[in-house]
Amino acid sequence: TSRRAANDDRETIGQLLQALQKGRPARSVYTFATIFAGVWLAACAALTFGFLPSIQAAMGQSGGVLVIAGLIAMFFAPIMLFYFLASLVWRGQEMRMIAQAMAQVAIRFSEPEGSASDSMVTVGQAIRREVAAMGDGIERAI
């Protein structure tokens, strides 16, 4: 059986930095944005179909082009807002992951004596094993 130090479950600095570079937040927020955009477009299509006679009457007037441009802007501006919000949420998740990793690294750096004593214990154990192995070898040789 091999003995492990009490804090062997702690990640090394290299592992923390690697996790920082590998980890990515879930892209499910973009899926939700796409679903909301689809629902929004379906509702806009239903409203357009319901008010089609009024829209056609507005197009016959002098400012009809502006009415249509305004309707199109009202239909597509919320879709851009959905994706903008999804991007903000995704970036927020990414920033939270980075902050957690940086906090762990900062905690490690704030306790250098813990890392140094852990290393010394490990080196001491290795030296003891080697001395014991040499003692066994010498006993067998004698």
CB distance 122 to 5 below 8 Å: yes
Of 16 and 27, the one with more pLDDT: 27
Q: How far apart are CA 98 and CA 23, in angstroms?
A: 9
Q: How far apart are CA 90 and CA 21, in angstroms?
A: 16
Task: Report how many domains make up the chain.
Answer: 2
- Give yes or no: residues 93 and 48 share one domain: yes
- Residue 29: both structure tokens together: 């927020």
Indicate whether 32 and 99 sit together in one domain. Answer: yes
Whether residue 100 lies inside any domain: the answer is yes
Q: Return the pLDDT at 36.
A: 95
**Residue range(s) defining the domain that contains residue 138:** 112-142
User: Kind and range of the H or E element at 113?
Assistant: helix 112-141
Backbone angles phi, psi at 122, to 5 degrees: -65, -45
Asked, for residue 52, whether it belongs to a domain, the answer is yes
Identify the band that residue 120 occupies on the pLDDT scale cut at 50, 70 and 90: low
Model pTM? 0.59
